[in-house]
């Protein structure tokens, strides 16, 4: 089975996450996408809402899509969440014969060099890098190519379906490995959790930026008010 893994802080999950995940589900014909909220995010500053609240909101948001699932694997593991550990754990749980696709925004992918065991991670699963307002995919391709060359990772990116310099989508095969990196443009939805948190704090509306159920959960639990 092809399985999508969408990692993030999800503080809170919002409609940007859901819209792009649905696009990727359809495009890659993924029967399942797991939303995996991180425990303590390693590259973020400031207090993050408890794993329990974030999982609850992911559950509410994914409830109505039969292909969307939530996973508390990182929150349960506790401590800093490293994607390589998560991928290994999921692979172990599912056993052999599955393709894992890690879905990541271009803004997050540009920091991939700082992730634990980035070399191993890049070959442990396939990557789907999606565009995000302000972060172009051509730049992501250039960044990752430079990174691999700099680190002498012995990973050779081979473009498999497009002419060089053509517009995205691009797909790259990591030679000698069964992994691929797909750079896929998605509708540019200018919604972020940071903005949602600040809107709530200022008492402003977040309607239509998060599912109604998540908006209600935030209100009922008095989240993000300070
Ligand atoms: P924050 O502002 O707190 O960083 P966020 O909106 O970026 O929150 P994250 O939980 O950090 O949400 O994102 C999880 C993943 O979803 C990341 O890979 C991120 O790039 C991607 N993502 C988040 N929002 C969007 C969006 N509007 N369009 C495309 N990708 C997105
Ligand atoms: Mg983010």
Each residue's pLDDT tens digit, 95-119: 888 999 999 999 999 888 889 998 8
What is the per-residue pLDDT for 145? Answer: 77
Q: Is the dihedral of CA 142, 145, 148, 152 positive or negative?
A: negative
Instruction: Judge if the beta carbon of residue 193 lies within 6 A of ligand 1.
Output: yes
Confirm or reject: Cβ of 107 under 6 Å from ligand 1: yes
CA atoms of 35 and 217, how far apart (whole Å): 18
What's the pLDDT band for 154 if we cut at 50, 70, 90? very low
Reported pTM? 0.92
Which residues neighbour 198 within 8 Å (Cβ) at sequence distance 6 or greater?
none
Spelled out in words, what is the top-level CATH class assigned to the domain 2-220?
Answer: alpha beta
Indicate which residue's Cα is closest to atom 29 of ligand 1: 132
Q: Which of 10, 192, 199, 210 to mutate to test the pocket of ligand 1 (most atoms within 8 A of CB)?
A: 192
Whether the pLDDT of residue 42 is over 70: the answer is no
Q: 176 C-alpha vs ligand 2 centroid, how far in Å?
A: 32
- Long-range contacts for 26-31 (Cβ within 8 Å, ≥24 apart)? 27/184, 28/2, 28/4, 28/101, 28/128, 29/2, 30/2, 30/3, 30/4, 30/67, 30/101, 31/1, 31/2, 31/3, 31/67
């Amino acid at each position: 089975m092809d399985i999508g893994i969408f990692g993030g802080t999800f503080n809170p999950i919002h409609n940007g996450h859901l819209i792009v995940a649905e696009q990727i589900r359809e495009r890659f014909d993924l029967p399942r996408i797991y939303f995996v909220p991180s425990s303590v995010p390693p590259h973020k500053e400031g207090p993050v809402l408890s794993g329990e609240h974030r999982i609850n909101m992911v559950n509410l948001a994914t409830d109505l899509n039969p292909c969307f699932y939530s996973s508390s694997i990182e929150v349960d593991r506790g401590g800093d969440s490293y994607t390589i550990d998560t991928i290994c754990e999921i692979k172990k749980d599912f056993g052999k014969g599955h393709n894992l696709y890690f879905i990541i925004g271009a803004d997050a992918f540009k920091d991939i060099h700082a992730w634990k065991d980035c070399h191993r991670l890049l070959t442990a699963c396939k990557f789907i890098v999606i565009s995000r307002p302000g972060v172009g995919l051509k730049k992501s391709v250039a960044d990752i190519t430079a990174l691999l060359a700099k680190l002498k990772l012995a990973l050779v990116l081979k473009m498999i379906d497009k002419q060089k310099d053509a517009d995205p989508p691009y797909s790259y095969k990591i030679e000698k490995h069964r992994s691929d990196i797909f750079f896929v443009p998605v509708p540019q939805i200018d919604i972020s959790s940071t903005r949602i948190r600040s809107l709530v704090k200022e008492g402003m509306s977040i309607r239509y930026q998060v599912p109604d159920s998540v908006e209600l959960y935030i209100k009922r639990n008095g989240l993000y008010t300070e």
